[in-house]
Structure 1
Amino acid sequence: MSWFDINNTLVTIPLGAGYAMSWIEAVATVFGLLCIWLASQEKTINYPFGLINVTLFAVIFFQIQLYGLLLLQLFFFCANVYGWYAWTHPSAAGKPLQVRWLSRRQLLVIVALALVGIGLLALYIDPVFATLATCSVDLLNLLGANLDMPQLQPDEFPLWDAMITVLSLIAQVLMTRKFVENWMLWVLVNIVSVGVYAAQGVYAMAIEYAILTFIAANGTREWIATAKANGSRSAFTQGASS
């Protein structure tokens, strides 16, 4: 079980004062990168990699007492399970799920939900994550974890954290339905994450998200080409031709 301990250091990265990367963090990161890369190639096998990634990060967040983020991993776990199913089963019309763009109406709804979600979460981010942490601890204690309730500090970047959280949830859902826009959201999420992690001095995570930015940008390019081949047009093109 020591392999799962975040204090079991694999390598110390010479960044800042030195960043001790544990075995579990290294493996979770590799599986996360592979998951995103395989998803950008429209490979269904990305989902097993994603399930391992979110499970290992849940273990990490449990150990460093970030229980709100731990609970979010449960959402990502369920989204990966659903995405795996959706990508491998035909729709009600009997057709396989294809890469495509959102319609104009769908895009407007998504933009509205994103703006409202980001605004509300930025305003109430501390009580929201405190509630998530409380729910996580209560759930784990029901399973016999015997944890003390954590004392959470105020969020240092409420707007940026809210943007990362809300857009990540939306992007994950859009990916399960093979909408091109998911990659554009991931590019934005990753760019903001690089800035936040760099500002917090977590340089290894900043580098990881910089790599993810390039993978998401490549995913955007490839899925745009695939959507075009599938006969799907972006909302802007739909508007221009109507």
Structure 2
Amino acid sequence: MNDPLSFLGFSTTPLELISFVLSIVTVLLNIRRIHWAWLFAIVSSATYGIVFFESRLYGDAGLQGVFIVASIWGWYEWLRGKGEDERPLVVTHLDRAGWSWSLVGWALGFVLLSWFLHAWTDTDVPHMDGFLTAGSLLGTLLAARKKVENWHVWIAVDILYVGLYVYKGLHLTAVLYAVFVVMAALGLRSWARAAREGAR
């Protein structure tokens, strides 16, 4: 069922191809701040979890489970709003403290995940996997709170993911993440404008 196939000149599998399409739809909806993005994120995370596990990218595979939980929370946040009066979330920027806590969280996540992956799995890329897993989690949490800076995180993470996936032979996914870099730049521009306008 998941036998190798060729797509656009790349060797892939049906599951990786399905995950590819779902991920593109997720980011497109996210750029436009449409809450259905979270549903597609849940499904694409589930399918990519299998793809990454089979490639021994255990940090990324485990991250997909966290993504599913975070996506449920993000969907709830976007629909429910914030505060006792449940006002809709609007797009905002991180303040200095928010930036500091985000970077500290990323660094701490990197150290813990790298140690875990090195000690308890047979992955051959524990440090890169840990660093990008922690960064991806941060990007998801910032997106759930409608922070413009989620796109800064995604641009940095996606660029590095391209190299990692080429190394692991996931060439279609590498192309996907190269596309994500461009989409994240578009998302940054769109959300920065929305923050200036106080938009949802």
What is the TM-score of this pair, normalised by structure 2? Answer: 0.87
Q: Which position in structure 1 is the counterpart of 2:77?
A: 86
1, 9, 24: which is aligned to 1:14?
9
Deviations 1:104-153 (A, max 9, x none): 1111111122223324444553125x3xxxxxxxxxxxxxxxxxxxxx24
- Is 2:59–2:117's contact at 8 Å kept on the other side of the alignment? no
Separation (CA, whole Å) in 2 of partners of 1:215 and 1:82: 23
The 3 A distance-change label for structure 1 pair 22 and 44 is: same
User: Does structure 2 conserve the Cα–Cα contact (< 8 Å) formed by 1:40 and 1:223?
Assistant: yes
Q: Distance in 1 between matches of 2:102 and 2:118?
A: 24
Give me the whole-angstrom Cα distance separating, in 2, the residues matched to 1:47 and 1:201. Answer: 28
Q: Note if 1:221 corresponds to 2:189.
A: yes
Which residue of the partner structure matches residue 60 of structure 1? 51
**CA separation in 1, counterparts of 2:95 and 2:40?**
30
Specify the structure having the higher radius of gyration (Cα). 1
Question: CA–CA distance in 2 between the matches of 1:62 and 1:161?
Answer: 12
CA distance in 2, matches of 1:164, 1:68: 9
More moved, 199-208 vs 174-183 = 199-208
Alpha-carbon separation, structure 1, partners of 2:59 and 2:46: 14
**Is the 1:6–1:63 Cα contact (8 Å) retained in structure 2?**
no
Amino acid across the alignment from 1:223: W
8 Å contact from structure 1 (residues 6, 60) kept in 2: no
Q: Cα distance, 1:86 vs. partner?
A: 0.6
CA RMSD of aligned residues (A): 2.3
- In structure 2, what is the Cα distance between the partners aligned to 1:73 and 1:212? 17
Q: Please, which of 150, 156, 173 is the counterpart of residue 205 of structure 1? A: 173
1:126 correspondence with 2:118: yes
Structure 1 stretches of 5 or more lacking a match?
131-151, 232-242
Matched, 1:49 2:40: yes
On the 8 A contact 1:51/1:80 being kept in 2, the answer is yes
2:24 maps to what in 1?
Answer: 33
Give the Å deviation of 1:163: 1.9
Change (3 A) 1:74 1:213: same
Q: Percent identity among equivalent residues?
A: 28
Q: What one-letter code is carried by the residue in structure 2 that aligns with 1:114? A: W
Asked if 1 retains the 8 angstrom alpha-carbon contact of 2:58 and 2:117, the reply is: no
Q: TM-score scaled to structure 1, two decimals?
A: 0.73
Quick one: structure 1 residues 31 and 160, their matched pair in 2 at CA, closer, same or farther if it must change by over 3 Å?
Answer: same
User: What CA deviation, in whole Å up to 9, does each residue of 1:136-186 have, x standing for no partner?
Assistant: xxxxxxxxxxxxxxxx24x23x43222211100111111111011111100
